[in-house]
Every structure is written in C-alpha cells, then in structure tokens.
Amino acid sequence: MKITWMGHSGFRIEIGDQVLLIDPWITGNPVFPADQRAAAIAGATHILITHGHGDHSPDAVALSQELGAPIVGIYDLMTYWAESAGVEVVGFNKGGTVQLGNVAVTMVNAAHSSSIGTDHGPLYAGAEAGYMISGEDRVIYVSGDTDVMADMNIFNDLHQPEIGILACGGHFTMDMERAAYAARSFFDFKTVIPCHYKTFPLLAQSAQPLIDALPGTDVRTPEIMETITL
C-alpha cells in the first residue's frame, strides 16, 4: 500500500488493484507543485470526493474527463455532475459500501458542511462524508473535513481502521488537539497522517501537537508528493 500526500486534503492511495485520488485539489492549490501533476494522477482508477467545497472538489470533473476515472461520492453531488457534465459517477450514501475492484469503500458520517460555488452563490452539494477504505487486509479511515464525533466510536467497532488520515488544521475542522483526542478516545490506529493543515496561514502550520499527544502511534508527516509505504 502506498499513500502519497498531494497537499491540503488530497491523497493518492495505491491499494489492491486501485489507484484512488482523494479530494485531489491541484488547480489553484498554493502548495501543490505544478510539475508533479502527471505523477500525482497517473493511472488513477477512481476519484473520491468527501464534499463539495472548493478546496476539495474543483478538479474532480476535469480529472474524470481526462483520465476516464469515475467520481465516487455522495449521491446528490454525483447526480448533479453526471447530469451537468456527463461524467461517470458512483453515487451512494452514508452507511453504504461500494466495491471498486477488490477494494471496498464505505461512506461514513462527518460533521461539516458541503456546497459548491456558483455565479449565484453556494449550491447545495449533498452531505459531507468520510470513508473507510478496505483492501490488502487493512482499513484506512479518511475523516474528510469534520469535528470530533461520538460516531467515531461506532466507526472503530464496525471497521477497526489501522490507518487514520485526519483533517486537523483547525478553524474549519478539528485542530491537532481535538484530532488527537479522537484518535485516543475512539480508535486504535497504528498510523496517523494529518492533513488540511499548512495550506494557508489560517490553518495550523505544524503537526507537533498531534505527535506529542499520540506517543504510542506512528504519526507520519510527509512532505507534499512524498510517498509512504505501509
């Protein structure tokens, strides 16, 4: 399994027979290296979107058209893109599981909001979500943008994720301390990877508080486009 951070909340996950792009924000991302675009998207089989905000979804349709990779996400937003842009989608909802090759993806709850920008203001984009990605006999929890939720206890009981990719930059999501609380209180992660930080001055610039609060957990803080092999 290979996990590559694309900056902000974007990840490239090579798992089983799939290459999944999670919230791939490339266009206009101030921290994404433009010369790494081809490497980031090469061979992608599916594009997973957690919610509609402009730092998560704006490249989804164009990448789907370019790569021939279906977009996977909440039914409402997927239906909108299928009808408005003619792209192939896999729309489902919280509690549902879809099979992508030999990888299973379950949509789980998140506590945030979801919209896409239009010339007439924000457009409802279905609900925000996270994912449990199961393959190679392991499970990855992608939190999406969220606060701490008691639901996380249920997530762990049902899925037992070993790897947590947690949004923890603060202001719009959990901060480092709240993400550490979630990891300690609800999960038994072996590996935690922080995201949604360092992109803008408004967000946390260091994951050190998360590292300090999880002394028994392997907290990885890769550089952008650095690949972690697990």
**Whole-number Å distance between alpha carbons of 199 and 202:** 8
**Whole-number Å distance between alpha carbons of 4 and 42:** 12
Tens-digit pLDDT profile for residues 135-162: 999 999 999 999 999 999 999 999 999 9
Tens-digit pLDDT profile for residues 116-125: 988 889 999 9
Mean pLDDT of 69-80: 98
Domain ranges of the chain: 2-220
Confidence of residue 76 (pLDDT cuts 50, 70, 90): very high
Which residues in the chain belong to E strands, given as ranges? 2-5, 11-15, 18-22, 46-48, 71-74, 89-92, 97-100, 103-109, 115-118, 121-124, 129-135, 138-142, 163-167, 191-195, 218-219, 227-229
CB atoms within 10 A of CB 82: 16
Q: Which CATH superfamily is domain 2-220 in?
A: Ribonuclease Z/Hydroxyacylglutathione hydrolase-like (3.60.15.10)
What is the DSSP annotation of 71-110?
EEEEHHHHHHHHHHH---EEEE-TT-EEEETTEEEEEEE-
Q: Please tell me what DSSP assigns to residue 15.
A: E
